[in-house]
Structure formats: structure tokens, C-alpha cells
A and B are shown apart, each in its own frame.
Chain A
Amino acid sequence: MLDSARSPAESSGFSRKIAATIIIVYTVVTLIPITWIILTGFKSVDGAITYPPEVFFKPSLEGYVNLFTTRSRQSQEYLDSLPPPDTWYEELVRSREMVIAGPSKFFGRYTNSLIIGFGATFLSVFLGALAAYAFSRFKIPLKDDLMFFILSTRMFPPIAVAVPIFIMYRKIGLGDTHLGMIILYTVVNLSLAVWLLKGFMDEIPREYEEAAMIDGYTRMGAFFKIVLPQATTGIAATAIFCMIFAWNEYAFAVLLTQFNAQTAPPFIPTILGEGGIDWPAIAAGTTLFLIPVMIFTVVLRKHLLRGITFGAVRK
């Protein structure tokens, strides 16, 4: 029986169902750890390590409070001598027989991550776009060799050059600075950005910028007004890849940053509780850490989908 006309290239209802099932199962499996992290963030310190683990529990904001504060334990008499707590979090802390000593470093580290992550992403995409445009449009001597050289910087794990970079950074004073980390992540990402963006630039017909140049614009003007808007898809895809790397990077951050420019990844695991690891605080930190990349990816997802399949379909 024919229920509807369809092209042979279109999948049948049955295979669609199978595909959907596989995707749902895969999604659930990959989401379990993330769900678990988010749940742990809302557990109490004791609740996080009970065995068997609890899936349903009374949520608490202890983890988040611990994440943003430093506390000190006090005797009951001292606590009783204090005026009543002004805020809900102070109350929560006092119920654990502690007082708030001050804010934790988390906010500063998180801000560092934002500055360095977005800074490096912007710089990689910007420089990458300029280089990709040049490689795509101009006759450059040794173009293929240069492109291969750029690619080759990706052929070893970046951490392999950690020691020389550490020494270099100490010598020139870039160690533990935002600028140093932005430069480092930009350098690592640049090869990817150049290669990805060159693919997109190649797809943009030259006539557009030629038309703009004839309309009275300089090549730079044409690049910013015409070429870049055309390359949005590629820029979005590239930006996401760069952002994910710069945001998540751990090894260099541990090695090169300590106080001033330390990012969130090396900081979060060092959150220690009293006499043990403060899992809810770590989970809370991790949850907050996931959010920017998630928002970034969701905002750019339309472009990302079109971006990573670029060139596959000619318009």
C-alpha cells in the first residue's frame, strides 16, 4: 500500500524510527554524567557521598554557597553570641556551625575564564579570518607549504611544548597574565581557524567583493562589509570550536597560571571542604562552568549545523 509519494532518497518511516531510537538512547547515555553533576550540585555535603546514591533528595544550595564563600568553623557558644543572620546563606552556613569568612576566589576565576575564553576565541577567529581570506584570494608564494606549516602546528599535542613555553613566558613576563593565556590559546586555535575559514572563504564568490570594490570600497572595506557577513556560518562554527578549546583547557592553565589569571578549570578541583572533598561545591562550580559554552553553542547552533556540513551541498 502506498501511503504517500516519497523519493527513494528519503528514508522510510521504519528506518526513521530506528534512527530516532538510537539518537534518544545515545542522548540519554551522554546526558547521565551531566545530569548527575547538576544534581550533585544541589545535594548536601553528606548527601553527595551517601551509598547507595540518592536520585531523589531534598535539594540544598549548600554546594553553591560553599562555592562562592570561604568559611570558618566556630564553637556553638560563639555562634549563639552573634546577632541573628541577615541572609539565607548565612543561616545555612551557621546551621553547619560555621561563619562566612569572605567570598571565595571562584568568581574571579570564572571571570578570568570568560575574559580568556572569549578573548582567545575572538582573536583566533579574527586573525584566522584575515589569514584565510588572504590564502583564499591572493597569490602567495609557497602558499601550499605555508598552509601545510600552519596545519603542522596541530600535529603534536600542544602540551608537548609546555616546558619551552613555560620558560619563555617566565622570561618575557607573560606567565600568569590574561594576555599570555589569550595569546597561547589563540596560537593553538589559529591553525584550525585558518583551515576551517579558508574553506568557507573559498566558497564565497569573488564577485561580491569585486562589486564592492567597484562600488568605491577598499579591499578592507569590502572584506568587513561583504565577505565577513557572508562567512557568518563559517565564523560561527569556527568560533564554537575555538571557544570549546579555550574554555576547557586545563594543562596549560595549571602550569602557567596561579593567582592573577587562573581560569576556572584548574580552580574547581581545588575546592576542598573540611576533612574531605566538597563534592557539591565542585559540582556547582562545574555546572556554572558548563553554562557559557552551552549558551554560546545554542545561540550559534543553526550556523553550526550548516557550518560543519559546509561544501557538502552546492547552493
Chain B
Amino acid sequence: MSEIKIERIKKTFDDFVAVEESDLTINNGEFFVLLGPSGCGKTTTLRMIAGLELPTSGKILLDNEDVTFLRASQRDIAFVFQLFALYPHMNVRNNLAFPLKMQKFSKDEINTRINEVANLLRIDHLLSSKVSGLAGGDRQRVALGRAIVRRPKAFLMDEPLGTLDAEFRELMCLELRKLHNNIDATTVYVTHDQLEAMSMGDRIAVMHKGRILQHGKPKDIYTKPKTKFVGSFIGSPAMNFIPVNHTIQKNQNSVKIDNEEYAVPKSFQNTSSQNNVLGVRPEKMFLSDNKGIPGEVYGSEYLGTRKILTIQSRFGTYKIRVSNDVNLKIGANVKISFDSDSAIIFDGQTDEALHSEFIN
């Protein structure tokens, strides 16, 4: 059980800055997800926590102990690799026993632990098989088993579901989460899949270009993105962005789009830029009978409980979530509007969300 703290950590490879100075605290027993597109520095951050990479500067604390320059083997942390990295020349049992042998456990203790873990992960019947013959899901379980069997202070997982096919991934998502609830160990999970992140994480940190843009509960990150990137990266379909071509003053609570006034949450800040952006989630947009941005239906996706309409307007393409009974032909002219109390204005210069009644 442990708390992981990252203080002003930075990593550069030659000229390339992989991780900008970042701070992060991962609480005891938390399932923490590092989310971001590939190359954003999330894996590097994870590898620094593991001790596979040394930070250029900054500190890593594990249970308030400075482990920055400790070897990976001395940190008592388990790591699940993207490609599992099961030792190919050993069978499943030996793979599970490998970390225990180093800790000089007795044979009986090793066997007890292996059986316990095999039971938990339902891989008892595979213990004597070779790892090369295993199916993707079983490999995944063995890799998890090898991590769990040691009862480490924390688990680090680097896109462990990345290579599984879609159907199986959902199942493993659930299993992983259940497993976490069972053993209650601090977990840092890296993924580029926002659905995975949203469904599994207690908290999420969104990274982009080596920077942690925002961290918090999945719901907060979804509804109150602090930057335009977070808004566009999280959510499927992504957030819609509507250009606002005037400055916003403090206490202003409306914007002008296409010569029409729309109410927005009252801003607590000024913008410096003339070209700002209004961000709205697809489910917060609707077809409007009177005032709205004119557009044309471009596509319609039926998703069972809801429908997603793609509307082409002169500002760009917007996706809106509508109820199933909306029947519109492709090419039909519509007007779209949005909920005024959850709209977010992003400063055109900094891409950061303005503090307002909604975001503070």
C-alpha cells in the first residue's frame, strides 16, 4: 500500500523534451490513469516511476521515501508491459515463480503464492504450459499474475490491453477493475484509449506533448476540460468547437456567433485574443426551431439508444447527440443551438478554458 508522489520531474532525451516539469500525487489504493496520444510522455513518466528511466531532474517519492535514484529492482514496484514480456523460455509456473525466487522464498511459500494467484486469475490449468502457446488474454493474465504474485507496493501498467481484440478488451477492462477492487493496490495505468481511461480510472491525468494538462475524476475531466486539447481528446464523439470572433470581458455572460447572441456561463476572466473558441459536448447541443447556427445534415449514425447527427455548418462539422425519434434526411437544413450553462470558452491564444461560473 503506498502513495506515489512525483515532484517537478522532467525528462529529456538529447534535445527532445519527453516530459516537462510535472507534479503528480497518486493516492494510496487509487487506480490512476495516465492518458494521452502516443508520444505524449505518459510511458516515459511511468518508466521513471518504475526506475527503468532516470529523470533528468525532479524527485520521485514512494511512501515519502525518495526513490529517484534507486534501481528498479529496489523499488518493490510491479510493471505490466504492453507486450507482456513473459519470459519465453520458461513455462507459466516459472514465469510466476521468477520474481519470488529472487526474494528467497521457500519452495512451499512460492507454490502457495503461485496457486493463490493462479486461482484468482483463473490460470490454474495453464501453469505447466509454455507461454508461447498462450492466447492473448491468457498471456495478459499471466503477466498480471507475475505482477501480483510479489505483492508489490504499486502496480504500473503500460497499455496492457493494447494488443487484445476489442471484445476481449472490454472483458479484461472489467476484470482488471475487479482485481483492483479486490487487492486494493495503488495502480498507475497508461493508455491512449480514453474509453478505457474513463471506465477504469478513479482519477485520470491527461498528458499532451510532455505536459500534464489536467488531472481529476473522469467526470470532471469530461465535463470541465481545462484546455481545448482535453476537450477534444476526451469523449466520443469529441467536443464541438464553435469560433467566437470577439474578445470576452470579465463578467460577460453572452457571446456573439453569426450575429446572434447566445447566453454562456458568466466569465471571470478577460481574453486577450479576438479569436476564441466555444466548446460544447455533443449531448449539450440540440436542434433548434428558432435561433441557431444554420447547417445541413451530413450524416446520421444510429446507436440504438441514441443517434448521432453530423451537421455541416459554415464553421465546420459538428456532431450532436439526439434522441432516436429524430428523423432527418441527409441534406436537410437545420439550426443547431447549445445548452448555455455548460458551454466553455477557450482562450484563442492559450487554448485554456476561461474561468467562469461553470469552470472554476
Binding site for B on A (CB under 8 A): 205, 207-208, 210-218, 221, 225-226, 229-230
Could you tell me if A230 and B89 are in contact, using CB atoms closer than 8 angstroms?
Answer: yes
Residues B257-302 near A (CB distance < 8 A): none
Which residue of B50, B52, B99 is within 8 Å of A216 (Cβ)? B99
**A229 surroundings in chain B (CB, below 8 A):** 89
**A210 surroundings in chain B (CB, below 8 A):** 52, 72, 79, 81, 85
Give A221 to B71 CA distance when docked, in angstroms: 13
Chain B 57-80: CB-based contact to A (< 8 A → 1; otherwise 0): 000000000000001110001110
Could you tell me if A211 and B88 are in contact, using CB atoms closer than 8 angstroms?
Answer: no
Q: How far is the CB of B132 from chain A (nearest CB, A)?
A: 10
Could you tell me if B89 and A213 are in contact, using CB atoms closer than 8 angstroms?
Answer: no
Ordered by A's residue number, 14 sampled pairs between the chains whose C-beta atoms are within 8 Å are A205-B83, A208-B85, A211-B85, A211-B87, A213-B73, A214-B73, A214-B78, A215-B98, A215-B99, A215-B150, A216-B99, A216-B102, A216-B103, A216-B150
**B87 surroundings in chain A (CB, below 8 A):** 208, 211-212, 226
Which residue of A205, A215, A218, A221 is within 8 Å of B146 (Cβ)? A215
Binding site for A on B (CB under 8 A): 50-52, 71-73, 77-79, 81-83, 85, 87-89, 98-99, 102-103, 146, 150
**B82 surroundings in chain A (CB, below 8 A):** 207
**A212 surroundings in chain B (CB, below 8 A):** 87, 98
Q: Which residue of A lies closest to B80 (CB)?
A: A211
Could you tell me if B85 and A207 are in contact, using CB atoms closer than 8 angstroms?
Answer: yes
**A207 surroundings in chain B (CB, below 8 A):** 81-83, 85
**A218 surroundings in chain B (CB, below 8 A):** 71, 73
**What is the interface of chain A mostly: helix, strand, loop, or mixed?**
helix
Q: Which residue of A lies closest to B74 (CB)?
A: A216
Give A255 to B51 CA distance when docked, in angstroms: 53
Q: How far is the CB of B312 from chain A (nearest CB, A)?
A: 44
Q: Which residue of A lies closest to B158 (CB)?
A: A207
Q: How far is the CB of B33 from chain A (nearest CB, A)?
A: 20
11 more contacts with CB within 8 A, not counting A213-B52, A213-B71, A216-B103, are A207-B83, A208-B85, A208-B87, A208-B88, A211-B79, A215-B73, A215-B98, A216-B73, A216-B102, A216-B150, A218-B71
User: With A205-B83, A226-B87 as given contacts, are A214 and B102 in contact (CB-CB < 8 Å)?
Assistant: no
A-B interface contact total, Cβ < 8 Å: 55
| In the complex, the 6 A-B pairs of residues with the closest C-beta atoms, listed nearest first | A215-B99, A207-B85, A216-B102, A211-B85, A213-B72, A229-B89
Give A212 to B73 CA distance when docked, in angstroms: 8
Give A215 to B73 CA distance when docked, in angstroms: 6
Q: Which residue of B lies closest to A229 (CB)?
A: B89
Q: Which residue of B lies closest to A221 (CB)?
A: B102
Q: How far is the CB of B13 from chain A (nearest CB, A)?
A: 10
Q: Which residue of A lies closest to B86 (CB)?
A: A211
**A225 surroundings in chain B (CB, below 8 A):** 98
Give A229 to B90 CA distance when docked, in angstroms: 10
**A217 surroundings in chain B (CB, below 8 A):** 73, 102
Q: Which residue of A lies closest to B102 (CB)?
A: A216
Could you tell me if B50 and A214 are in contact, using CB atoms closer than 8 angstroms?
Answer: yes
**B89 surroundings in chain A (CB, below 8 A):** 229-230
Give A210 to B50 CA distance when docked, in angstroms: 10
Q: Which residue of A lies closest to B78 (CB)?
A: A214
Give A226 to B85 CA distance when docked, in angstroms: 11
Q: How far is the CB of B335 from chain A (nearest CB, A)?
A: 54
Give A225 to B78 CA distance when docked, in angstroms: 18
**B146 surroundings in chain A (CB, below 8 A):** 211, 215
Q: How far is the CB of A213 from chain B (nearest CB, A)?
A: 5
**B78 surroundings in chain A (CB, below 8 A):** 214
Q: How far is the CB of B49 from chain A (nearest CB, A)?
A: 11
**B102 surroundings in chain A (CB, below 8 A):** 215-217, 221
Q: Which residue of B lies closest to A211 (CB)?
A: B85
Give A226 to B101 CA distance when docked, in angstroms: 14
Q: How far is the CB of A242 from chain B (nearest CB, A)?
A: 23
Could you tell me if B52 and A214 are in contact, using CB atoms closer than 8 angstroms?
Answer: yes
Q: How far is the CB of B103 from chain A (nearest CB, A)?
A: 6
Give A18 to B87 CA distance when docked, in angstroms: 43
Give A205 to B99 CA distance when docked, in angstroms: 19
Q: Which residue of A lies closest to B143 (CB)?
A: A211
**A211 surroundings in chain B (CB, below 8 A):** 79, 81, 85, 87, 146
Give A229 to B98 CA distance when docked, in angstroms: 14
Q: Which residue of B lies closest to A226 (CB)?
A: B87
**A214 surroundings in chain B (CB, below 8 A):** 50-52, 72-73, 77-79
Give A211 to B71 CA distance when docked, in angstroms: 13
Q: How far is the CB of A203 from chain B (nearest CB, A)?
A: 12
Give A238 to B99 CA distance when docked, in angstroms: 31
Give A205 to B87 CA distance when docked, in angstroms: 11
Give A202 to B244 CA distance when docked, in angstroms: 53
Q: Which residue of B lies closest to A218 (CB)?
A: B73
**B71 surroundings in chain A (CB, below 8 A):** 213, 218
The listed residue with most B CB atoms (<10 A of its CB), out of A208, A210, A214, A225, is A214
Give A50 to B50 CA distance when docked, in angstroms: 77
Give A293 to B79 CA distance when docked, in angstroms: 44
Give A60 to B298 CA distance when docked, in angstroms: 96
Give A207 to B88 CA distance when docked, in angstroms: 12
Q: How far is the CB of A187 from chain B (nearest CB, A)?
A: 31
Give A183 to B78 CA distance when docked, in angstroms: 43
**B79 surroundings in chain A (CB, below 8 A):** 210-211, 214
Give A297 to B72 CA distance when docked, in angstroms: 40
Q: How far is the CB of B35 from chain A (nearest CB, A)?
A: 22
Give A216 to B74 CA distance when docked, in angstroms: 7
Q: How far is the CB of B52 from chain A (nearest CB, A)?
A: 5
Q: How far is the CB of B27 from chain A (nearest CB, A)?
A: 22
Q: How far is the CB of B47 from chain A (nearest CB, A)?
A: 8
The listed residue with most A CB atoms (<10 A of its CB), out of B71, B77, B87, B150, is B87
The listed residue with most A CB atoms (<10 A of its CB), out of B50, B79, B83, is B79
Which residue of A213, A215, A216, A230 is within 8 Å of B88 (Cβ)? A230
Q: How far is the CB of B12 from chain A (nearest CB, A)?
A: 13
**A221 surroundings in chain B (CB, below 8 A):** 102
